[in-house]
Structure 1
Amino acid sequence: MADREFWSYQPPHFVTGQRCSDNWITVVDPLPSYGRGRELPGKRHQSLIFGSYLTDVIITGANGTIDGQGAIWWGWFHNHTLNYTRPHLVELMYSTNVVISNLTFKNSPFWNIHPVYCSQVLVQHVTILAPLNSPNTDGIDPDSSTNVCINHCYVKNGDDVIAIKSGWDEYGISFAHPSSNISISNITGETRGGAGIAFGSEMSGGISEVRAEGLRVVNSLQGIRIKTAPGRGGYVKNVYIADVSMDNVSIAIRISGNFGEHPDDKYDRNALPMISNITIKDVVGVNVGVAGILEGIHGDNFSNICLSNVSLSVQSAHPWNCSLIEGYSNSVIPESCEQLRSNCRQTSDCYDGSSSSAIHGQEPRDTLSTSRLLNPLMKFTLF
């Protein structure tokens, strides 16, 4: 086999998935970092667009549409008649130099775009659409992946707009493949069932070095979300989120230390996650229900949570609810919870995103110049 492979897919104007699971018959093994299907034990349905161990991958189109025909799958989910975990629209595994651009993805049965165990991934100028009540239709979920850039995307769906993941409980801890060096910018999202940007709850392999800027979240359940639980292990650290606007969001910032189920009863209840070095700054919100619910874990305080220059127009008489956290706040309206006001440290102690390094992708070979013209940004820089 050649040292490098190039795989390019430019769909026609409109592509649809099968409505019937008997026709979508291919099932694949569970991800090693999950140990089972995400919804059901055992295998899982293969995604509509699926590949593994690929190099130099381009999935693009002149704003064409890929429709997953998800309604029937959502019905089976609600009726508890699924035989395997639902398929994603796009899943690439163990792949390098991936570009997904200039397409509309709609009605995914499950998560929309799922790069897992990948590196050098660029997702840009993508629109993702699903009904606001559709279950688990996450937009873009980098999972145990490194050097990822997501920019200029619009997502309206039923769950998290962007969710960074890295494996589930003991399987993610054992597989030990973190998500790191991730850049997110210029994202507009609307979701009734999730957050504009989320971390976890599957984060057992670790998540770090994330920089997100230019986020617009409207008509949504949550703006910024970190979710984990005892048994997850792993960490979420060195996260920098800035330049965020929210309108009609129920909870602006939520950190949950007791969220989500477990894959089985073999998880280690003493495997506590580390949540540290989280900076959220330059946030403006109107029509916000609650400013923040920030809850750590007994015996495992979440530390160095820094809020700066946050101005929220909040409806609740009790805008903040905080427990088992430590950190710092400055110029926060309404005034932040006591746990973030009693610390005398300076803003210089907060994570500023400067440890993230520049990562350069490689261009595909010149023999594929036609495809390269459709995707001139195969070479890209993070941060």
Structure 2
Amino acid sequence: MEENMKVNVLEGNRDLTSTANATVALQSAIDRCNQHGGGQVIIPEGRYIIDSLILKSNVDLHLESGAELIGSGDEERYQHRPGPFELIKNETPISGLIYADGQENIAITGSGTIDGNYEKFILPNQQDEVHLKFYKYPRPMMVYFENCRNVLIQGVTLQNSPFWTVHLVGDLNTEISHLTINNEVRMPNTDGIDVDRSKNTYIHDCQIHTGDDAICPKCTEETSEYGDCENLTVTNCHIVTQSSAVKFGSSSFGNFNNCIFRHLTVRDTNRGLAFQLRDPGSARNIIFEDIDIATKHYSKEWWGSGEPIYITILPRDTNTQLADAEISHVVFRNVKCCAENGILLAGYRDGAIKDVCFDHVTLDLQRPLGQEVEYDLRPDDHNGKIKRPLKAINDLSHSQYSVNDCDFD
């Protein structure tokens, strides 16, 4: 990214942090930087209340240590994208606190903080609730980048998100590095990073502590113009969440191809590595390697039942036509699990899950074999859960699956 210009937002705005809202001044600095060919917009130490900032080509929004952007919580003043959202039938628009559409060479960098101010979007008096109740769905995303090219998010902390934290829609060539996400764990829908039909995405050296899915490849229905989700690499990340650490889906209206997850530490999650495909898309050529997982079951409101590995491809509802959708060519290598539940594979037809290899996968099961446990299949056309006794499987010689030097304790 070129750094032709450096704009310090306090220049000429000495009282900026004491004003009610800093949006106009900060947006003016971004616009001016973009108009002069690009560079850095530097936000120095201080607290700045904003509605939305629209990031533009060749601009690096740089937050210095002690700098904090805080969402105002006035969603009517946020930047909106028209609906539908997730499903064609959902006509609702969505909004973002930091927003970009069709831009290139954009960045959010530094060691400062962006705060989504989630408390503005929840009902009052919920001190003891394990799953917070909110006013509406969806709520603002903290970072929403659509159809952008050459994106960098590096070093900053994103916290207190009211909804999805980072949503990448149809983006090309994105790097997310040394990012810290720290959300209220009781807040639903606070996905860490949603990679929605984006290509060439590299996520590494991140800390994610959130309530909902931490890293979530998606293919939402309304974004079909961007094709499949491809070439995602995730390495060296530490994840804590009350939902899934990694989850493909549940929006799977496109395909997931060529994804690699290496050197992840997963702690206190409701589900570890998950395929939750519920629409006509497939997942192929996925590798999980050198991963340490510890799962436990949370409350019934959170999807999941403590499964360390969860491989499912099922119809979303009675109208879903999956055609030839499949999960295939998936490798789990050197994966260590400590869990309250077993590994689940569930497909809508024979052969829907095939060519899955478990190579040096260990499971330290925290419940006795034979005990009946619950598996969570939501969302599916029966909209529910199933109960099965825990079994030890020593031989998966069936042609669809293989076990190489695995140890199931």
Normalised TM-score (structure 2): 0.70
Distance (Å, rounded) in 2 between the aligned partners of 1:225 and 1:269 = 21
Deviations 1:277-300 (A, max 9, x none): 1111101123x1123011111356
Deviations 1:104-153 (A, max 9, x none): 00111111111111010000100001122110101111110101100000
- Please say if residues 50 and 92 of structure 1, whose CA atoms lie closer than 8 Å, have aligned partners that are also in contact: yes
1:155 is aligned to 208
Q: CA 1:275–1:74 in structure 2 vs 1: closer, same or farther (change >3 Å)?
A: farther
* Aligned residue among 248, 251, 254 for 1:205: 254
Structure 1 stretches of 5 or more lacking a match? Answer: 323-333, 349-383
Report the Cα offset of residue 8 of structure 1: 1.6
Where do 4+ consecutive residues of structure 1 move more than 4 Å? 31-34, 76-80, 318-322, 344-348
What does residue range 210-229 of structure 1 map to in structure 2 within 5 Å? Answer: 210-229=259-278
Deviations 1:146-171 (A, max 9, x none): 01100000011001110011123xx5
Report the Cα offset of residue 255 of structure 1: 1.6
1:14 and 2:68 aligned? yes
Distance (Å, rounded) in 1 between the aligned partners of 2:61 and 2:166 = 15
- Please say if residues 292 and 321 of structure 1, whose CA atoms lie closer than 8 Å, have aligned partners that are also in contact: no
Distance (Å, rounded) in 2 between the aligned partners of 1:205 and 1:109 = 27
RMSD after superposition: 3.0
Distance (Å, rounded) in 2 between the aligned partners of 1:200 and 1:221 = 16
Rg bigger for which structure?
2
1:233 and 2:280 aligned? yes
2:293 is aligned to 246
User: What letter is aligned with 2:107?
Assistant: I
* Aligned residue among 41, 59, 62 for 2:108: 59
Deviations 1:337-383 (A, max 9, x none): 75x333498789xxxxxxxxxxxxxxxxxxxxxxxxxxxxxxxxxxx
Identity over aligned residues, as a percent? 23
3-state SS, counterpart of residue 72 of structure 1: helix
1:282 and 2:334 aligned? yes
Report the Cα offset of residue 254 of structure 1: 0.7
Deviations 1:29-71 (A, max 9, x none): 12687435xxxx323232000001111111111x211000012
- Please say if residues 75 and 95 of structure 2, whose CA atoms lie closer than 8 Å, have aligned partners that are also in contact: no
Q: CA 1:278–1:68 in structure 2 vs 1: closer, same or farther (change >3 Å)?
A: same
Deviations 1:175-215 (A, max 9, x none): 461010111100100111x1111111112111110011001
Q: CA 1:80–1:247 in structure 2 vs 1: closer, same or farther (change >3 Å)?
A: closer
Deviations 1:210-229 (A, max 9, x none): 01100100011111000012
* Aligned residue among 311, 315, 325 for 1:255: 311
User: What letter is aligned with 1:15?
Assistant: L
- Please say if residues 27 and 43 of structure 1, whose CA atoms lie closer than 8 Å, have aligned partners that are also in contact: no
What does residue range 1-383 of structure 1 map to in structure 2 within 5 Å? Answer: 5-11=57-63, 13-24=67-78, 26-30=79-83, 34-35=87-88, 41-61=90-110, 63-75=111-123, 81-82=135-136, 85-168=138-221, 171=222, 175=225, 177-192=227-242, 194-229=243-278, 232-249=279-296, 250-258=306-314, 268-271=320-323, 273-286=325-338, 288-298=339-349, 301-316=352-367, 317-318=369-370, 335-336=392-393, 340-343=396-399
- Please say if residues 184 and 210 of structure 2, whose CA atoms lie closer than 8 Å, have aligned partners that are also in contact: yes
- Please say if residues 191 and 210 of structure 2, whose CA atoms lie closer than 8 Å, have aligned partners that are also in contact: yes
- Please say if residues 272 and 295 of structure 2, whose CA atoms lie closer than 8 Å, have aligned partners that are also in contact: no
- Please say if residues 102 and 126 of structure 1, whose CA atoms lie closer than 8 Å, have aligned partners that are also in contact: yes
Structure 2 stretches of 5 or more lacking a match? Answer: 1-34, 38-55, 125-130, 297-305, 376-390, 405-409
Distance (Å, rounded) in 1 between the aligned partners of 2:337 and 2:402 = 25
- Please say if residues 294 and 321 of structure 1, whose CA atoms lie closer than 8 Å, have aligned partners that are also in contact: no
Q: CA 1:344–1:16 in structure 2 vs 1: closer, same or farther (change >3 Å)?
A: closer
1:356 is aligned to none
- Please say if residues 44 and 87 of structure 1, whose CA atoms lie closer than 8 Å, have aligned partners that are also in contact: no
Q: CA 1:176–1:300 in structure 2 vs 1: closer, same or farther (change >3 Å)?
A: farther
Q: CA 1:290–1:115 in structure 2 vs 1: closer, same or farther (change >3 Å)?
A: same
Report the Cα offset of residue 270 of structure 1: 4.7
Distance (Å, rounded) in 2 between the aligned partners of 1:96 and 1:318 = 52
Normalised TM-score (structure 1): 0.75
User: What letter is aligned with 1:222?
Assistant: R
- Please say if residues 243 and 282 of structure 1, whose CA atoms lie closer than 8 Å, have aligned partners that are also in contact: yes
Distance (Å, rounded) in 2 between the aligned partners of 1:305 and 1:74 = 42
Q: CA 1:15–1:337 in structure 2 vs 1: closer, same or farther (change >3 Å)?
A: farther
3-state SS, counterpart of residue 298 of structure 1: coil
Q: CA 1:321–1:301 in structure 2 vs 1: closer, same or farther (change >3 Å)?
A: farther
